[in-house]
Amino acid sequence: QSALTQPPSASGSPGQSVTISCTGTSSDVGGYNSVSWYQQHPGKAPKLMISEVSKRPSGVPDRFSGSKSGNTASLTVSGLQAEDEADYYCSSYAGNNNLVFGGGTKLTVL
Amino acid sequence: QVQLQQSGPGLVKPSQTLSLTCAISGDSVSSNGVPWNWIRQSPSRGLEWLGRTYYKSTWYYDYAVSVKGRITINPDTSKNQFSLQLNSVTPEDTAVYYCTRGQMRYGMDVWGQGTTVTVSS
């Protein structure tokens, strides 16, 4: 069982927006502005999409955005495109050199 | 452009040692304060951070509690690579293993291609 809770699935039609949640505790998500989001296509390594809650690394489309409220972080994908269909994972620093991950959300573009 | 290239066996017998290597191009294993990590992914355990090494005047090593005592991560400055050794493996250690660059607080920005390791006799 993963430390952070994500919905197992999410879906949306092309052009729509979808939001994926990531719920932790005050010891991880709520305690640090250190939430990252990763996109993983089948058979590939995860790719960093969001760091430090809401920062986009170079090359990541601005359709991807992140936020946090209390112990829950969120990833929003706007203007859904077919290539956004993938698994998405959140992670958070949890203090004492501890990194925790969510169980992943499968995003389907209808 | 930083790239990580993993190598190592895909099959390990129970009780033996899992050994993987991650060769770095475009950066240095000795870059000041840059952590080099090992992370694994399995259906039963999901993504799991295993440990890291980094250089900051001296070498530092941090390991996850779940594997402490069985794991060693070593930098090799002559070959610009780092390695993972996991001792006394069981079928529970079957997973895809990734090497990465990155800070826990800022995210893993570079990943190796992944190595599927199966623990089986």
> pLDDT tens digits for B84-120?
999 999 999 999 999 999 999 999 999 999 999 999 9
Q: Is residue A106's pLDDT more than 70?
A: yes
Any chain A CB within 8 A of the CB of B49?
yes
> What φ, ψ does residue A100 adopt, rounded to 5°?
-120, 150
Mean pLDDT of B68-76: 97
What SS3 string covers chain A?
Answer: CCCEECCCEEEECCCCCEEEEEECCCCCCCCCCCEEEEEECCCCCCEEEEECCCECCCCCCCCEEEEEECCEEEEEECCCCHHHCEEEEEEEECCCCCEEEECCEEEEEC
A44, A46, A51 ranked by CB distance to B106: nearest: A51
Check CB contact under 8 Å for A51 and B112: no
Q: pLDDT value at position A3? A: 87
Q: Count Cβ–Cβ pairs < 8 Å, chain A vs chain B.
A: 57
B23 close to B5: Cβ distance less than 8 angstroms: yes
B109, B111, B112 ranked by CB distance to A57: nearest: B109
Question: Binning pLDDT at 50, 70 and 90, where does residue A1 land?
Answer: low
Any chain B CB within 8 A of the CB of A95?
no
Cα A100-A104-A106 angle, rounded to 5 deg: 165
> In B, which residues are within 8 Å of A45 by CB distance?
98, 111-114
Quick count: other Cβ atoms within 10 Å of Cβ A57?
15
What are the C-alpha distances in Å from A69 to residues A24, A26, B39, B112?
A: 11, 11, 27, 32
Question: Binning pLDDT at 50, 70 and 90, where does residue A62 land?
Answer: very high
Check CB contact under 8 Å for B107 and A57: yes
Helix (H/G/I), strand (E/B), else coil: B106: coil
B41 close to B48: Cβ distance less than 8 angstroms: yes
Write the pLDDT tens digit of every residue in B24-60.
999 999 999 999 999 999 999 999 999 999 999 999 9
What are the C-alpha distances in Å from B89 to residues B63, B68, B120?
A: 16, 13, 10
Return the structure tokens found at B58. Answer: 């001296």
Residues 6 or more apart whose CB falls under 8 angstroms from that of B115 comprise B6, B7, B8, B10, B20, B96, B97, B98
A46, A93, A102 ranked by CB distance to B104: nearest: A93
Closest alpha carbon to B71 in B45, B53, B58, B95:
B53
Percent residues over pLDDT 90 in chain A: 96
